[in-house]
Amino acid sequence: MDSNGQVPIKFDSFANIINGQVAGSAHSYYGIDPVTKEKLWDVPVATAEDVENAVASANTAFSRWRHTTWQFRTEQISQFKAVFQSYQDQLVDLLVREAGKPRMVAMGEIQTCVQLLDWHIKLKEPRGESYDFPDKTIENKFVPLGVAVAICPWNFPLLISTGKWLPAIQMGNSVIVKPSPFTPYATLKVVELANQIFPPGVVQVLGGDDSLGPTLVEHPRVHKISFTGSIATGKKILAVAAKTVKRVTLELGGNDASIVLPDANIGKAAPMVAIGAFFNTSQVCIAAKRIYVHSSIYRPFLDALVNVTRSFKLGTTENEGFALGPIQNATQYDKVKTFLKDSKDRGYKFALEPDEGAVDTMNGFFLQPAIVDNPPEDSKIVKEEPFGPIVPVLSYDSIEEVVDRANNSNTGLGATVFGTDPETLRRVADGLEVGSVWINGYPSVAPEAQLSGAKESGLGTEFGTLGILAYANTKAIWTFKST
C-alpha cells in the first residue's frame, strides 16, 4: 500500500472488476492504437458466469447501499475525487493511446470529469413536495431503483461513463459499467480506482464481446439501462428492455445544424463554427454536422471557415494547440470515407478538399477535414451523420426557411446559432426541435446543463439536476391522521 493506505494501480495490465475483485477470463480482446494501428493490452472477455456474478453482487450491494445517507455517499464521492486526481496523468496517457486523442483534448476530458465530480459533491439531495391536509399528510419521495447498467461509447470513454455511474451511485443504486471494446482501458482503471473507496459491488465493470451488452440488457435483475450510442442500437435496447419494463435513458445520434444569421460577426463566428464541426475530429454527438449560412454572407463566411479549418493541425497525439487526431477505429474510418466518396462521385463542389496523399505517409486512421460547398438538401452528406471530419455548408434566404430545414430531420440532439440581435437569436433557438441550443458558442457539455435529445436522438436526460432523477423511482407516502 502507498502512504494513503491505497493499493497502487498498475497501468500495463487490465481486468474486469466484480464484487471489488479483479477478474480475468480464458478469452481476451484488445484495442488498437488509432495513431499507429498497433495492438494495445489484452482485456478479459466477460463470460456468462461473470455477468451472473456481477449482477448478483450488484443486487447484494444495492440492498445495503440504498440505506446509506446522501451525505455518506457524497463523502465517498469526495474521497474518490482525490484518488482520481492523483492518477490523472496516467489516465490522460491511456486516453491518448486508446482513443488517439491529442493530449490537450485528453486532458480536457479528465478536467470535465473533475468538474462533474465537483458538481455531484455540491449537489443537494433531491426531495419531492410534502403536503399537510386536515386529515392526512402526503410525502413525495425519490428512491433508488436498483441495479443500473451503463453502456458507453468510444468517443469520450471516461466522461460519458463517469456521467452515468456517478449519479447512479449517489442516488443509492449500484451500477455495472460496460465500456466500448474499442476504448476499454481508462474506464477499467477508473472503476478499479473507485473500488478503493466504494464498497464491493457498488461499482463494477465488465468488458467483453458483442454478446455482453444484450445479456446485460435482458437480465431480469437489472433495473435500469443508460446507453450512449447509435440510434439503431438504442432502438434495440428499448425493445428488449420493454420485456421487463426496465427504466431506460438513451443518448443517441444527431445531425445537428449550425445556423449563421445574416448579422453574424464572421470573424468571431467562423472559428466557433469550425471548432464545433471538427473538435475531436468530429467524433462528437453534438458536433455541428450541417452548417447553414445566410445567402447575403455565404461566400465571405465560407472563405473564413475554410481559412480557419486549414490552420488545424493534423498529426500525432503529442501536437500542441488545436490538433485533429485520427478516427478512433477502422470501422468508423471506412464509414467516413463513404461520405467523401459519395460527394466526389456525385460531383459536389468542395470548398476544402482533403489531400489524400498528405496522410498516406501516416500510419493511423487519419483524415483531413473536408468542407462541401452547398450540396443538395437531400444528399447523403446533409441527411446522414458521418461522425467524422466532413461537413456541408448550405445557403438559405430566410429565417423561417432555415428553421424548417434544420428541423427536417428524424434527429434533434442539438444546434448552434450565431448572430448579434438577441431577439432573433432567441426566436431561432426557441423554434429548433432539439435538446440543446448553443448561442454564439460551439457545442459543449457542463454538469449544470441537462443533456437530452428530441425525436430519435434520445430518451430521458443526463447531467443537471434532473440527471440524477434518471436513477430514481418516485414514492408517495400517505399518512392519515387519527380522529
Q: Which residues are catalytic?
A: 251
Residues 6+ apart with CB under 8 A from 214: 240
Residues 6+ apart with CB under 8 A from 292: 257, 258, 259, 260, 393, 394, 395, 396, 402, 405, 406
- The 10 Å Cβ neighbour count of residue 304 is 19
CA–CA separation, 382 and 374 (whole Å): 10
CA–CA separation, 182 and 69 (whole Å): 37
CA–CA separation, 35 and 44 (whole Å): 23
CB-count burial class (<10 Å; 0-12, 13-18, 19+) for 56 = middle
Q: Dihedral of CA 130/131/132/138: which sign?
A: negative
- The 10 Å Cβ neighbour count of residue 190 is 27
CA–CA separation, 441 and 276 (whole Å): 8
Within 13 Å and on the Cβ side, how many CA atoms surround 122?
A: 9
Residue indicated by cell numbers 465530480: 117
